[in-house]
Amino acid sequence: MPLLYLLINVSLANTNTGIHFSYNSTSGWEKINKEGAAYINGGILELSNASSASYCGWATYNKPIPLVDNITGMPASFLTQFTVYIKATNTTIRGDGLTFFLSSYPRIELVNPCGGYLGLFTADNKMDSSQNQVVAVEFDTHRNDWDPTTNHVGIDVNNIYSVVVRNLDDTIPGVIYRKAWVNYSADDQTLRVSLSDVQSSQEPSNTFLSYKVNLTQVLPKTVVVGFSASTGYAAEIHQIHSWEFSTTFGSRKNAPLKAKSIPLIVLVFVLCAIGVTLLLGGFGWFLVWRKKSLKKRGDKRDLPTKYRHKELVVATSNFAPKNKLGEGGFGPVYKGYMRNSCDEVAVKLLKQGSNQGSKEFNTEVETLGKQRHPNLVELFGWCDEKGELLLVYKYMPNGSLNSLLYDKHRLLLWPKRYEIAINLADALCYLHTENEHKKIIVHRDIKPDNVLLDSSLNAKLGDFGLARQVGYSLSANTTNAVGTRGYAAPELFQEEGRIKPSTQSDIYSFGVVLLEIACGRRPVDQNLVQFVWEHYGRNKLLEAADERLRGEYNVKEIERMMFVGLWCSHPGASERPTIGLVRSALLFEDCDLPVHPRSKPIYRSSLSGQSFDGSAIAKLFNSNGTSMGRSQEAIGGA
């Protein structure tokens, strides 16, 4: 009885209660998730800043907001007020704007949502309401094809074309500084926007903009609320100086059930709560039992899960052709869904009878399986039943850096390119110096094909089939060339392979990748290092930048990336920096930068003293331009 009484009281306490929070320059923004360019600066929420061209920023409340009371079925009303400050750095070219938005929880990560898409849409879904679940009030400062004017406030419902719009005049040219009030009434299903002076503490009686919409029909029952801002060609300051938000639940006339039925609802809820408690207890016991069972099935300590073959057959629909993501040198890769863990996975099926494939399998499990870092591809598990070797990875929905960098239909914007470079530097710092196993791990095949991108375009370094722990299992008498044409360090192919792969050879490969990210050119199509070095020698480094970017990049960042790329890809291994120096240079931290010669140095063997140019080294590769005995697949790639 005491438990029943407590449950009834808890149930009644949770009925018709709303959410309220308030932030300003003195109260802190501790429960706000900040993504992209967003950060807190002196008590002000910055969504972009004066130097953030082609950037997006998001700031959202860190808990879900219910739009419907789970017990009574009543729809929610809400009132929010916030102080918005927008300042153009160039009053001639402005952009792009800021929004207050509600969307599905958690917020869906999008590919290239900056510029005119305001951080909420993409080129593919901007006009397709069936793909979106978002309602927004936009403060738009740049006129795109779908905009009626330059400076306006609009209400967007599931696409970027505002259903209602009203011009907004600047009191000061290039500056918007107002307090905005957004009020949604569940009673009349109307969203209202009002504007006032920043000092006002009362919602204005005059409505600036309104639109009749039933939020429960266009949004899910639980949403995320917050702000987004984006810039395109021009930088613009987007700030929120204060934010208050509260919800209440609509009048009982809107509730689907009568008031007299509430006690019955509470009773049903109590019984369901007891049942759910018992069910969760049983499920918890099952998970503990299963974890112990899986641990027993693993035959190596600290390694990922050992899966049963039938689990992977079910996950991939018996390796159905429709789930095939691609084919590498050692076998195909399939997309799968693990029902027990609700994880999307990529399953690499290594070819039978391949001795090299078996070695790759063991290396991948023993190396990647022991490492945990946000910028390494996560190896979930493995299987060696029925004469097959399978590796199970976390699925990467955006494929490889190689596929996206050269995609004819999508452009990888500069801010994300620079983030990817930092991600890779972090991954190499971990492998070379910081991993918890205190081992120096040499990857040996760093290239865009082995850099995978998650839903937020965060980079994950993968494919560890060639990786080695220095001083553990790598012989100085290695005879097989390792790496991929265009990315492999020149010293690996001299003196019949007696120079073993090292952190310096990884640095060389990373340097080539940096140049490729900045220039948008494949190193196998031309001598990329030579190409960039020639432009550097003529003081024309920006002319080597990717033409598809059309100059939309941070000049200091792209020059720094190419400079560091040349530093890393120096023909002399002893002249290359450590990954720690590379990371510091990319982050513009204090470090000593070298003075590059105006022409590319010629490689000189440290063992024989013989000089080589790039054409001589290229002949050591096979004719199709791949690594010797290597797969070029990207796990989870599109």
Residues 356 and 207 in one domain: no
8 Å CB contact between 139 and 147? no
* Domain of residue 503, CATH code: 1.10.510.10
* pLDDT over 50 at 612, yes or no: no
* Domain of residue 365, CATH code: 3.30.200.20
Asked, for residue 624, whether it belongs to a domain, the answer is no
Asked, for residue 282, whether it belongs to a domain, the answer is no
pLDDT at 236: 87
- Kind plus residue range of the DSSP H or E element containing 429: helix 414-429
pLDDT at 509: 95
* pLDDT over 90 at 583, yes or no: yes
Which of the 8 DSSP states describes residue 356? Answer: H
Reduce the DSSP state of residue 525 to 3 states and report it.
Answer: coil
* pLDDT over 70 at 609, yes or no: no
Asked, for residue 418, whether it belongs to a domain, the answer is yes
Beta-bridge mates of residue 383: 390
Question: HEC states along 191-254?
Answer: EEEEEECCCCCCCCCCCCEEEECCHHHHCCCEEEEEEEEECCCCCEEEEEEEEEEEEEECCHHH
Residues 548 and 512 in one domain: yes
Residue with tokens 């309220």: 20
pLDDT at 490: 86
* pLDDT over 50 at 151, yes or no: yes
Q: How many domains does the chain have?
A: 3
Residues 390 and 416 in one domain: no
pLDDT at 94: 78
Name residue 15's amino acid: T
Work out the pLDDT band at 255, boundaries 50, 70, 90: very low
pLDDT at 110: 80
Average pLDDT of the residues in 359-369:
61
CA-CA distance, 182 to 313, in Å (whole number)? 51
* pLDDT over 70 at 384, yes or no: yes
Asked, for residue 340, whether it belongs to a domain, the answer is yes
Assigned token pair, 545? 């930048």
598 closest CA partner among 543, 524, 551, 533: 533
Residues 159 and 35 in one domain: yes
Segments of 105-150 assigned E as strands? 134-140
CA-CA distance, 438 to 426, in Å (whole number)? 16
Asked, for residue 557, whether it belongs to a domain, the answer is yes
The string of pLDDT tens digits covering residues 431-455 is 888 665 567 888 888 999 889 988 7
Strand 379-383 and strand 305-306: the pairing is: parallel
Of 348, 368, 394, which marks where a domain is finished?
394
**Residue 553 φ then ψ, to 5°:** -155, 165
Q: Range of 468's domain? A: 399-472+481-587
Which of the 8 DSSP states describes residue 436? Answer: T
pLDDT at 281: 77
Residue with tokens 């917050």: 226
- State which of 21-35, 448-462, 529-543 shows the largest mean pLDDT: 529-543
* Domain of residue 181, CATH code: 2.60.120.200
CA distances from 553 to 297, 391, 418, 605 (A): 51, 39, 10, 38
Residues 367 and 405 in one domain: no
pLDDT at 592: 86
Report DSSP letters for 55-114, one per residue.
-EEEEEESS-EESB-TTT-PBEEEEEEEEEEEEES-SSS---EEEEEEEESSPPP-SS--
pLDDT at 298: 42
The answer to whether residue 69 is catalytic is no
Instruction: Give Rg (Cα) of the chain.
Output: 28
Residues 84 and 193 in one domain: yes
Of 542, 564, 587, which marks where a domain is finished?
587
Asked, for residue 499, whether it belongs to a domain, the answer is yes
The whole-model pTM stands at 0.53
Residue with tokens 């190896």: 379
Mention every residue, 6+ apart, whose C-beta is less than 8 A from residue 133: 103, 104, 158, 218, 219, 220
Assigned token pair, 366? 């023993």
Asked, for residue 263, whether it belongs to a domain, the answer is no
Residues 100 and 55 in one domain: yes
228 closest CA partner among 240, 243, 216: 240
pLDDT at 388: 85
How many Cβ atoms are within 10 Å of 262's Cβ, its own excluded? 18
Asked, for residue 285, whether it belongs to a domain, the answer is no
Residues 95 and 159 in one domain: yes
Work out the pLDDT band at 254, boundaries 50, 70, 90: very low
* pLDDT over 90 at 389, yes or no: no
* pLDDT over 80 at 625, yes or no: no
pLDDT at 178: 93
Of 542, 566, 587, which marks where a domain is finished?
587
Assigned token pair, 579? 């990954």
Residues 311 and 240 in one domain: no
pLDDT at 512: 97
Residues 412 and 373 in one domain: no
CA-CA distance, 561 to 488, in Å (whole number)? 19
Residues 339 and 430 in one domain: no
Please compute, for residue 268, the number of CA atoms within 13 A of its CA located in the half-sphere on the CB side. 8
589 closest CA partner among 599, 578, 601, 581: 581
> Which candidate in 96, 156, 445, 449 is catalytic?
445
Residues 200 and 327 in one domain: no
579-586 helix and 503-519 helix, angle to the nearest 10 degrees: 30
